[in-house]
A and B are shown apart, each in its own frame.
Chain A
Amino acid sequence: MIEVHTFSQAAEAARTPGHILGGGTLLMRQVNYAPQTIEKLIRVTDPELQEIRADSTGIRIGAGVTMASIINHPDLSVLAPVARAIGAPALRNMATVGGNLFAPHPYGDLAVALLALDAFVIWSDGREEDMETFFQGRERTRGMVTHVVVPRVQSGQLRFRKVSRTRPKGISVMSIAVYLPGGSLSGRGARIAFGAMGPTPLRAKAAEAALENGAMDASGVAAACSVCGHGLAPQDDALASAWYRNEVAPVHLRRCLEGET
């Protein structure tokens, strides 16, 4: 049966094997439905996990910060529309940044934006890891993420689009985040990330390259969209088939690039 262990220090909690409880929106579901699969629940009350702090590298967001806190924080207005697209009000009061980083398909919309923004995570042992590496090793890594650091960006540099069957509050058929350093399609160095199009959020590198090398107009966008499925690995679920996801991905990427929400 389940044991619950509560720690006031994140570093101490990270040394104890078990399931780390964030907002509970995914883990408590498992507790309710399959309690026999969980031996230890690790609760961490460390206030450090709740902090949102700006420094020279960017904005440090504690793993325990909720979606509601992101929406309400003046330094995080760029991420507010992304956080607002997740769940409903009660869920946003619970769901955390840390939980979102580990959320399985089709969840984890915030993580998609973090990937596009080239954020990095900080583990409890102080190790830093960029988003892409983090996601590649996510299923195998043991440890505890205490913070994520988001570079400072201006509103207009991040475009986000969540495709769902119902609004408000739908689960992702896919989500798309595009970071445009120049704030418009005329700049270079765009980063494109897809959610619910693979086991973890994934970068659409072929589309990025097409955008980088193409004309800065509709034809460039079309070229990028046409190759956006390369490297993605969508799966079938109750919301959509892999086939459908592949078919509509270019349409939604184009709309996202053109600024439709």
Chain B
Amino acid sequence: MSIEFRKELFADERDDGLNEIGKPKLRQDIEGHVTGRTAYYDDHLLDGLLHMRCVRSPHHHARVRSIDTSEAERMKGVRRVVHADDVPHNLNTLLSLIGFGKDDEQLLSNPIVRYRGEPVLAIVADTEAIARAGCAAIRVDWEVLPHVLDVEEAIAPGAPSVNPAYPDNTFTYEPYDHVKLRFGDVQSGFAQADHIVEAEYEMSPIEQAPIETCGAIAAPETADRYVCHTGTQALFFSLGTTAKLLDLPSSRLHFIGGTVGGGFGGKVDSITEPMAVLGAMLTGRPVKFQWDREEEMQVGAPRGAERWRIKDGVTSDGRILARQFTGFFDAGAYTRLSSYAGHKGTGHLPGPYTIPNVASNVFCVYTNRTPATAMRGFGVTGVDFAIECHMDRVAEAVGIDPISLRILNAYRDGDMKAHRRVAKNCALVESCQVVAGKAGWGLSTDDMAANSLVGSSAERAAIPETALDDEGKAGERRAGRATTADPVPGTRRLPAGTHGDAKEAIPVQRPDMQILAERVGHKIPEPAAATAVTPQKVATPTPTPPSTPTMPPAMAPSSHVAAPLPKPTAATTAAEPAKPAPYKPEKPFSQGVNRPGVSRFLSGSRRR
């Protein structure tokens, strides 16, 4: 397999004197992999290891009337039945560690289960076979409750309420039950359009299916601590979550991990770690909690299902004047990371295209399905699929070549994006040209001559007057006071040129931690040289000196913004004074001791 570099593109923006990129390099962990010596979490043999397994709900939504554990408790080799009230702080939401969202999920759920496979009880036993037999011997008396499995049915008035922390079945993005994006006025865009193209797209949940299933081994350690070997993708996230659920100071947890047998996002949910540590706390023995393949598929959180409705207003020559989205992320029964998908998805709209009027409502919806979580670009993959399918549909409706349509509408450097940031380092045009070439797809000479650096204009760089609405405040939809999930016509106007609130980057803690632009491969030309090399580049942002904090060019004052900035942004003020001298060590860095007659790698030789 070879990698092809297109070094002729953007050559002046890049430093090609790199030592590693484009050259073969061995992975640092590869020798362990091919010799079988790499130690995954399950490759730690502990004496007296016990095995934990869960009793799980066979229903999508049910209440536990009673649980009979007597037969299991009598079984030889069953060491402990773990109940929901054995969990010291049995309520959490993953993103509470960064203060986002309400606690909504129990580690062991009682008395209500909200998805099929939700655990209500665990058994710790001498062998996995006994733990399985123990689980099979537990008798649960279930009262089956009505369930909802479809996002749009879930937000309709009268739908069964899935998650008591969010009784309306939508995550609350204060004050709304959805993420709103408004840019320009889609209604006027539709009115000016020659074609309206509408369609709906769906993506099913996708299981990450790592070959190593989720799991952890925990054991009592010295100094009143518990050690936990885990396959988590997020070691400190799992540690913090475990500390919270088990009400332990994190200093009592010694987490060992980082070697993951495939994760793809499915190993951030931090469920097996608190379970294993809880088992070790309750039995005083090493405990392994490992999902089998059925659990990985049934209760392992997948990439959530998505549904997208797109409505485009297009001129007869293929310019997209307005694009409206209604998006639904199916979170399943609990939030996990789906609330973040709503933000991520919105940040990705309207795709890599300059569209003067954009409106979107994106919902994170609770249903009685397996909770969804991270997976490789979650929040953007489904909507990208929808957008690119829709581009083909638009091309067909207008009667224009689909690649030509993309080149026509693609972001050019300097264009204003729907979330009020200036587009930079755009390369869709060039990508289209290369792809067309590879596929033997003929493009017109105009399309072949197009360039991401050329084509922006004062109009394309401007923030338009924007129509705003207040539809869909949390709770209104369930009460029947919201008419549609789609964006509604605006009731008030935001003046043209209004930027969003400036977000100030957190300053780096130590100046020498500042990433220097030249070290990561961006060539930052001197101001004079820049204009000489790229005269055609319309919207070249003011070149940023390498040592200043990186600022989005959108925040820098630039002449092509149609309306004046309402106030000087934090970015402008921050950019001026901060110019510390670049970090320079007193002596050049060298590893080990460097003296004649002394081994470089013998510590202590310095003192001799």
Contact = CB atoms under 8 A, between A and B. Distances in A.
Interface of A: 1-2, 32-36
Contact of A1 (B129, B137, B292): B129
A34 B130 CA distance: 10
B294 A33 contact: yes
Contacts of B129: 1-2, 35-36
A33 B132 CA distance: 8
Given A33-B294, A34-B132, 16 more contacts: A1-B129, A1-B130, A1-B133, A2-B129, A32-B292, A33-B132, A33-B292, A34-B136, A35-B129, A35-B132, A35-B133, A36-B129, A36-B132, A36-B133, A36-B136, A36-B137
A34 B136 CA distance: 9
Contacts of B136: 34, 36
Nearest to A35: B129
Contacts of A36: 129, 132-133, 136-137
Contacts, number: 18
B159 to A, nearest CB: 27
Contacts of A2: 129
B283 to A, nearest CB: 21
Interface bracket on B: under 10
Nearest to A2: B129
11 contacts: A1-B129, A1-B133, A2-B129, A32-B292, A33-B132, A33-B292, A34-B132, A34-B136, A35-B132, A36-B129, A36-B137
A145 B564 CA distance: 88
Interface string B98-134: 0000000000000000000000000000000110110
Interface string B127-152: 00110110011000000000000000
B192 to A, nearest CB: 45
Interface in B435-494: none
Contacts of B137: 36
Nearest to B134: A36
A28 to B, nearest CB: 12
Contacts of B133: 1, 35-36
Contacts of A35: 129, 132-133
B31 to A, nearest CB: 25
A36 B130 CA distance: 8
A35 B129 CA distance: 6
A33 B136 CA distance: 11
Nearest to A37: B136
A64 to B, nearest CB: 26
Nearest to B293: A33
Nearest to B129: A35
B75 to A, nearest CB: 10
A32 to B, nearest CB: 8
A121 to B, nearest CB: 33
A32 B294 CA distance: 12
A30 to B, nearest CB: 11
A34 B129 CA distance: 8
A33 B298 CA distance: 14
Nearest to B133: A36
B568 to A, nearest CB: 60
B526 to A, nearest CB: 56
A34 B128 CA distance: 10
B69 to A, nearest CB: 15
A1 to B, nearest CB: 7
Nearest to A238: B297
A215 B209 CA distance: 51
Contacts of A34: 132, 136
Nearest to A32: B292
Contacts of A32: 292
Contacts of A1: 129-130, 133
Which 7 A-B residue pairs are closest in the complex by CB-CB distance? A36-B133, A35-B129, A36-B136, A35-B132, A35-B133, A36-B132, A1-B129
B288 to A, nearest CB: 15
Interface string B362-400: 000000000000000000000000000000000000000
Contacts of B130: 1
A35 B77 CA distance: 14
B206 to A, nearest CB: 15
Nearest to B294: A33
